[in-house]
Amino acid sequence: METFVKDRKEIKGAESKSTTLRDEILCDRRLMNELHALNVGDEEIDSYLPLLITYLDQRAAEEDPNHELKAPYPGMTMKLIIDDSGKLSYLLGPDDETKRKEALENNYIFRDYPDPWADLSGKSVKGERYKKLRTALAKTFANTCVKPWVFVKGDSGSGKSYYLAAVLNGLAADGESVCFMNGAKRFDELKTLAIKNRKQFDAIMGQLETCGTMVIDDFGNEFKSEYIRDQILLPLLSERSRSGLRTYFTSQYNLDEIKQLYSIHRSYIEGARVSKLIEKNIDKVVTLEPGLETISQKRAK
């Protein structure tokens, strides 16, 4: 008799819990609209309770990362469907954040900036002092653009690289092939590769010459040699100029100084080719001064 009473209480408890879950679902107008759009009637809710509660937990965790419930399928998004047998089911796919990270991984040739900058977007970087740079970059996206390059001069800490990283992240997320390369690191690597593995060198140069948007960061601080200038830098810039591809430079030097830096062994003509090629493709040099935003960026790191 005692066992029977105990079983009855457990059954009532389970029924009460099911009723609560059912009421939660019925009160969720957004979910009910989804179900009705799939022709799932209210009378069918009980048979789909486990699936629908999992769906609600997944949705809550996706929309609020700080939600007390963890997503049943982390990094994924769940979509309700009617399967081939006519029953309610679901599809799993990567969520927006996972897609964004995959896009950064797949669409960057080089991504030579600090890891925390991967979370940047054009909308997240604000400030009046970026107005000149924002305007200059916007012109390079115009259908009538004839000067698709931007040369940004600024001292260390002026935020020039920070802002351009945010812009390239947005392009990569949209599926464009991009490159954010540190000149000091990559030009020397390419020189070594050209000597040791010409096939791989040609493949990488092909990618660099044709990617939609490129940033050459810290330009002018790379190791300079006639080989790097004549076999890597000038061919790269010449091809991108010929194709009219967006190319952005950040540098602490002005173009006259770039000319002098690349006039190796008094070869002024070849040094001038570098600066003239840049001048040909830009409206004017954009100078960025340090500001309060830069200070807050440093503190956030």
pLDDT at 8: 34
Question: Do 293 and 236 share a structural domain?
Answer: yes
Question: Do 153 and 39 share a structural domain?
Answer: no
Please check the confidence at residue 119 and state whether its pLDDT lies above 90.
Answer: no
Better-scored residue on pLDDT, 121 or 32:
32
Question: Do 237 and 115 share a structural domain?
Answer: yes
Question: Do 104 and 71 share a structural domain?
Answer: no
Mean pLDDT of 231-258: 96
Quote the crossing angle between the two packed helices 198-210 and 234-243, to the nearest 10°.
Answer: 40
Q: What is the DSSP letter of 216?
A: E
Contacts of 95 (CB under 8 A, 6+ apart): 62, 75, 76, 77
- Quick: pLDDT tens for 149-168: 999 999 988 899 999 999 99
Give the pLDDT band of residue 141 (cuts 50, 70, 90).
Answer: very high
Quote the crossing angle between the two packed helices 131-139 and 160-173, to the nearest 10°.
Answer: 40
In the chain, how many domains are there?
A: 2
User: pTM for the complete prediction?
Assistant: 0.70
Question: Do 108 and 44 share a structural domain?
Answer: no
Domain span holding position 71 = 2-94
**Residue tagged 């309700």 (tokens):** 80
Domain end, chosen from 94, 117, 132, is at 94
- The distance in angstroms from the start CA to the end CA of the chain is 67
Residues 51, 119: Cα–Cα separation, whole Å? 33
Angle (CA) 287-289-295 rounded to 5° is 145
pLDDT at 73: 80
Question: Do 229 and 279 share a structural domain?
Answer: yes
pLDDT at 67: 65
Please check the confidence at residue 97 and state whether its pLDDT lies above 90.
Answer: no
Mean pLDDT of the chain: 85
Domain end, chosen from 38, 69, 94, is at 94
Question: Do 84 and 117 share a structural domain?
Answer: no
- Quick: pLDDT tens for 250-272: 999 999 999 999 998 777 777 89
- Quick: pLDDT tens for 175-202: 999 999 999 999 999 999 999 999 999 9
Domain end, chosen from 31, 60, 94, is at 94
Residues 35, 30: Cα–Cα separation, whole Å? 9
Give the pLDDT band of residue 227 (cuts 50, 70, 90).
Answer: very high
Please answer whether residues 250 and 215 qualify as being in contact, where contact means their C-beta atoms are separated by less than 8 angstroms.
Answer: yes
Question: Do 54 and 158 share a structural domain?
Answer: no
- Quick: pLDDT tens for 37-68: 999 999 999 899 889 988 888 888 888 767 66
Please check the confidence at residue 219 and state whether its pLDDT lies above 70.
Answer: yes
Residues 261, 266: Cα–Cα separation, whole Å? 10
Of the candidates 78, 113, 98, the residue with the CA atom closest to the CA atom of residue 173: 98
pLDDT at 300: 41
Please check the confidence at residue 301 and state whether its pLDDT lies above 60.
Answer: no
